[in-house]
Amino acid sequence: MSVVKSPLSEADLKTVGDALRGALVDLVDLSLVAKQVHWNVVGPRFRSVHLQLDEVVDTARKHSDTVAERASAIGVTPDGRAATVAAQSVIGAVPAGWIKDVEAVQTLVDALGVVVGRMRERIVATGDPDPVSQDVLIGLTADLEKHAWMFQAESP
């Protein structure tokens, strides 16, 4: 039962709701992965990678709030609980301990690649049923692709 009346049909609401919920999981997980790497990065490029990781965290957190609020606005309950994120995550695990700067960069290249790919699928899925949600996904994907480009440029 939803206390918010959706402007979308049931079928469209399911499609868009699944896309927004999945986007929220990916963004929460991306922020956690980037923060974990941020705390443990070491090496000659420590400072630049450390600061770049915080930029990813800020972007993911900002957009996770936007996605969750968009879901709520159309009558979909957002779910960013730790158990949900852990169960639905598709981002690879971050190794425990110190992470060399080169490995940190590769970890983010991989994570951003997975998340961007899934966001692009959601953009396609939401185009017809809800262009407003699609627009949210387009904007956040552009920001994530910028981070992906910057981390790829750091790769050896």
Q: Is the Cβ–Cβ distance between 113 and 21 less than 8 Å?
A: no
CB atoms under 10 Å from CB of 117, counted, come to: 12
Sign of CA dihedral 61, 130, 9, 125: negative
**Residue for token digits 């110190």?**
98
Q: What local confidence, expressed as pLDDT, does residue 15 receive?
A: 98
Host H or E run for residue 5: none
Q: What pLDDT, on a 0 to 100 scale, did the predictor assign at position 2?
A: 60
Per-residue pLDDT of the chain (156 residues; tens, 9 = 90+): 568 889 999 999 999 999 999 999 999 999 999 999 999 999 999 999 999 999 999 999 999 999 999 999 999 999 999 999 999 999 999 999 999 999 999 999 999 999 999 999 999 999 999 999 999 999 999 999 999 999 999 887
Reported residue count of the chain is: 156
Q: Which residue has the tokens 């705390």?
A: 39
The pair of structure tokens assigned to 120 is 């692009």
The reported pLDDT for the residue numbered 1 is 52
Q: How far apart are CA 131 and CA 28, in angstroms?
A: 23
| C-alpha dihedral sign at 81, 31, 54, 134 | negative
As a whole number of angstroms, the distance between CA 127 and CA 16 comes to: 9
